[in-house]
Chain A
């Protein structure tokens, strides 16, 4: 049944099932505190409802926007319309949370903190769900998806650059640590991307070996499976002793940066976690190469190497890339734990924040991590789809 017959067969105003859920969440969001005011950064905050969190006109504009959003969510409409409205409501909420911070912070008070409340988060969740649903239905091709991500990124950057959010608690925490923030960002990117790069360079050849030599496959995959089951904090900890020993006993090891704590053990642990998905996906990708194509390649006189480079690897590439995507998103998140053993990264703010019971500081570490993982997932999904186009679905 196509969408056209579905709409013509039903009354003009029909309920959208997922829309009901979105509306319920949004209604709950509207009746929970929009922002939280605290006298200083570590005391317990008090919630402010929408009407108290903003000046009159802004509050009513926000309420109106939410009402329209809920109405649109409930009714069956073209996905493009839903997408536009949901993005508009999100834009209003994002601008207004900044205004709320400015409105609630007393003049010249540098101790008071205003952060997003449960209401804001629920509203964001509800309309982000609506955006995701609309995007799924619209089935954009890879490039438009990346363009959209870039547009959203640009909009957020504009919000940050314009200073509209400067009175929000998380940005006050940032203002106090701007240079440390970018340092840790660099470390975080190095840990996540570096470990994936090294794991790819090591994992793909290992995967090819596992595919070609069956006894090796069982052994390697079993070992990697066991590594994968070690809790991440434990693995980071377990590496301290052997690496410290290496640093102390192997000449030159400490001069190239190997030590029991710091970036090296973090890198090694992330690398270990990355290997299984990459090796396993390489094996699966190679196994899925059509038997007939392989046989034809052999029958036409390709050598083993030629077959690998021009038939097997190109055909397995989308699956291998899917493995890399899984690992990259996983490692962007896991790299936060590196801070526990002095490895740096956004985790530094998370653990400092937990130590100081300063939730804003936790957010300063968590929000960029989530954003980074999300962006990496969108971009790599798009690339996987691009390299899969044509022929490989048969």
Chain B
């Protein structure tokens, strides 16, 4: 659990982060969203003391982060950044083994962990261990960057625009991988992004920042339904109904009955179901789970869910 209490950072005359307080429960993903200059990155960098706060404090599992030297604190916290920040002169294995080496793990344990992580990120250890970062694709570099951040099994992972350099298709895949891995290790994640879509997709809770101030800290549903300010609404954009649809799965809205044509999987989200209805000109879609027919979903039901919450 991360508790940020009244955290402020002042550079010169301006407060880049202005008395922000928020709590990230253990095992959850908190996405900090804002435009550039909103203070979102500074807020994140104060958690592992890459930036020292002017005032306020950060507690991790109840303990003040100032209780130990910054470099010792950082070794317990995973850190992944935009453009991966891999060491270009070191192999994939050496990069991933950075923090274990700093912590003094023995070679066998480090090697086993490197292989485990590479396998987890769908990179064959035998093939990729000894490559240099420049010999990987952008998506692979990003995965190695996240694997490196997770190497010593930290409880907390800080990510600064980790998917910013990826193209949309690879980005979506990387986001899903992150969700799967986060669930598996039950890591507490603080992720900084300027992309509201990414925030809605990944966050258990979203913190919206502007000009150093925390405007709203709530679940994605709440933020879409009740944006706290004009600015938050603007950040969500005009297609709020679609964003709302993309948050729910088809399985929750299945009703008994039959429908014609190509079925849709119950794991798809409502936005995909809605698009399929419009595209094929159907009033309802048959829904299947693992190939079994379990009912249908209707356009009326979808439209009702896409409407502004009353």
Q: Please give the residue numbers on chain A whose beta carbons come within 8 Å of chain B beta carbons, in ascending order.
A: 290, 292-293, 295-303, 306, 311, 314-315, 390-394
Q: Is the CB of B132 within 8 A of A301?
A: no
Q: Is the CB of A298 within 8 A of B74?
A: yes
Binds A, one of B32-40, B77-85, B251-259, B288-296: B77-85
Q: Is the CB of B79 within 8 A of A300?
A: yes
B192-207 vs A, CB cutoff 8 Å, 1 = contact: the mask equals 0000000000000000
Of A292, A314, A315, the contact of B81 (CB 8 Å cutoff): A292
B44-84 vs A, CB cutoff 8 Å, 1 = contact: the mask equals 00001010000000000000000000111111000101111
Q: Is the CB of B74 within 8 A of A391?
A: no
Q: Is the CB of B71 within 8 A of A303?
A: yes
Give B189 Cβ to nearest chain A Cβ, in Å: 15
Q: A390-B134, A391-B132, A391-B133 are contacts. A299–B79 as well, Cβ < 8 Å?
A: yes
Q: A300-B75, A391-B133 are contacts. A295–B85 as well, Cβ < 8 Å?
A: yes
Q: Is the CB of A300 within 8 A of B87?
A: no
A residues less than 8 Å from B184 (CB atoms): none
A391 to B88, CA, bound (A): 5
A394 to B86, CA, bound (A): 11
Q: Is the CB of B134 within 8 A of A391?
A: yes
A residues less than 8 Å from B304 (CB atoms): none
For the complex of A and B, 4 pairs with smallest distance between CB atoms: A296-B85, A299-B79, A391-B88, A301-B75
Q: Is the CB of B71 within 8 A of A293?
A: no
With contacts A296-B86, A296-B148, A300-B102 known, what are 14 further pairs, Cβ within 8 A? A292-B81, A292-B83, A293-B85, A293-B87, A295-B81, A299-B74, A300-B148, A301-B99, A390-B132, A390-B134, A391-B88, A391-B89, A391-B133, A394-B133
B residues less than 8 Å from A314 (CB atoms): 89
Q: Is the CB of A292 within 8 A of B84?
A: yes
Give B135 Cβ to nearest chain A Cβ, in Å: 8
A residues less than 8 Å from B83 (CB atoms): 292
A residues less than 8 Å from B79 (CB atoms): 296, 299-300
Give A159 Cβ to nearest chain B Cβ, in Å: 43
Give A303 Cβ to nearest chain B Cβ, in Å: 5
Give the residue name and chain of the A residue nearest to B82 (CB). A292
Q: Is the CB of A300 within 8 A of B74?
A: yes
A residues less than 8 Å from B71 (CB atoms): 301-303
Q: Is the CB of A301 within 8 A of B89?
A: no
A residues less than 8 Å from B89 (CB atoms): 314-315, 390-392
Give A383 Cβ to nearest chain B Cβ, in Å: 16
Give B5 Cβ to nearest chain A Cβ, in Å: 22
A144 to B145, CA, bound (A): 36
**20 A-B residue contacts at CB 8 Å?**
A296-B87, A296-B148, A299-B74, A299-B81, A300-B149, A301-B72, A301-B73, A301-B75, A302-B71, A303-B71, A306-B102, A311-B87, A315-B87, A315-B89, A390-B88, A390-B89, A390-B135, A391-B89, A393-B134, A394-B88
A293 to B77, CA, bound (A): 17
A residues less than 8 Å from B82 (CB atoms): 292
Of A298, A302, A392, the contact of B88 (CB 8 Å cutoff): A392
Give A317 Cβ to nearest chain B Cβ, in Å: 9
Give the residue name and chain of the B residue nearest to A318 (CB). B89
B residues less than 8 Å from A311 (CB atoms): 87
Q: Is residue B269 contacting chain A, with contact meaning CB distance below 8 A?
A: no
Give the residue name and chain of the B residue nearest to A299 (CB). B79
Give A311 Cβ to nearest chain B Cβ, in Å: 6
A192 to B39, CA, bound (A): 54
Give B41 Cβ to nearest chain A Cβ, in Å: 11
A290 to B81, CA, bound (A): 13
Give the residue name and chain of the A residue nearest to B48 (CB). A299
A residues less than 8 Å from B99 (CB atoms): 300-301
A392 to B241, CA, bound (A): 47
Give the residue name and chain of the B residue nearest to A389 (CB). B132
Q: Is residue B98 contacting chain A, with contact meaning CB distance below 8 A?
A: yes
- Most A CB contacts (10 A, CB to CB) among B81, B86, B88, B102 go to B88
A393 to B145, CA, bound (A): 19
A residues less than 8 Å from B81 (CB atoms): 292, 295-296, 299
- Most A CB contacts (10 A, CB to CB) among B74, B75, B89, B135 go to B89
Give A350 Cβ to nearest chain B Cβ, in Å: 43
B residues less than 8 Å from A297 (CB atoms): 85, 87, 98
Q: Is the CB of B102 within 8 A of A299?
A: no
Give B73 Cβ to nearest chain A Cβ, in Å: 7
Q: Is the CB of A394 within 8 A of B134?
A: yes
Give B79 Cβ to nearest chain A Cβ, in Å: 4
Give the residue name and chain of the B residue nearest to A317 (CB). B89
Of B84, B102, B135, B148, the contact of A301 (CB 8 Å cutoff): B102
- Most B CB contacts (10 A, CB to CB) among A301, A303, A306, A391 go to A301
Give B50 Cβ to nearest chain A Cβ, in Å: 6
A301 to B70, CA, bound (A): 7
Give the residue name and chain of the A residue nearest to B158 (CB). A299
Give the residue name and chain of the A residue nearest to B88 (CB). A391
List B residues 191-240 near A (Cβ within 8 Å). none
